[in-house]
Each structure stands twice: as C-alpha cells, then as structure tokens.
Amino acid sequence: MFSSPEKLVVPVEDIIGVASPKPVIPMTNLVVSSEATLTGNIYWLTKDITATVTADLALPDGEYMIIAERVVDATQVIDDTRFVATVADGILTMSVKFEVTGNYLFSATRMNKGLDRIGSPVHLSFDDVEFDVYV
C-alpha cells in the first residue's frame, strides 16, 4: 500500500543551485599582422603562413590555450585546432598558422565553454575573428 509523504517545502536554490554570473573580461583592440588580408570581416591567410594576433586582454600574465574551430558556413563545426597565446602586461600575443585550408573561427562562445570546463572564474568577451585559409 502506498503512503503519501508529508508535503516538504525546499527552496529550489537548495536543489539546483544558483548560477552566479561570472565576471566578463573584454578582449579589445585586436590586430592581425599584415600577413593576413582583411576582406570584409574575414582575414584571408595563405595556408602555412604565420600571422600574429595581438589584443588587449586583462588576464594574469601567462600562457593560455586558444581554440579555433574549422567551420562550414561559419556555423557547422568540422573540427578545431589550438594555439598557445601569451598574455604579458595585459597584451595577448599569439602566432597562428593553419596547415589545412578552410574557414576558421575564434569565438568567445567556444572559448568560454573551454574556460568553464577548466573551472575558470571568468568569461571572455570579443567579436568573432574569422580566417579564410587558402592555397
């Protein structure tokens, strides 16, 4: 025989927790070296040629893993590649060289997923940076 338990009132926060927003750090003044040609909002870069990306980013000095997704139509992710960026005195510097032709996207959305995965206390904010890599 089934007996119904007494009604128990528990605040929802105690069950699922409350997601507190993380501080958002903007990445600004992004510059891609002249090896890449800006066409519209896309940087054209020859396969196997290195370009340097710099930006203002107020993170502690150190090395950071940056993820670029290879995409179709700037939306469908095929795979990704990673680059090590250095932040020193609030300036991010990263060399990028793509070995496979295609369309690559650096996005805050993808970066923040990675930051969440490693338990970072912050998120980044920046406009997508798109590369069209060709032969």
pLDDT of residue 71: 95
- Residue 8, in any domain of the structure: no
Q: How many domains does the chain have?
A: 1
DSSP string computed for 55-72? EEE---SEEEEEEEEEEE
pLDDT digits (tens, 9 = 90+) for 27-36: 999 999 988 9
- Residue 28, in any domain of the structure: yes
Torsion sign across C-alpha atoms 35, 39, 42, 44: negative
pTM of the model: 0.79
pLDDT digits (tens, 9 = 90+) for 115-131: 999 999 999 999 999 99
Q: What is the CATH number of the domain that holds 106?
A: 2.60.40
Residue 102 CA from chain centroid, whole number: 18
- Residue 14, in any domain of the structure: no
* Regions of the chain with pLDDT less than 50: 1-3, 8, 15
Host domain of residue 72: 23-134
Q: Which amino acid is at 26?
A: P
- Residue 116, in any domain of the structure: yes
- Residue 5, in any domain of the structure: no
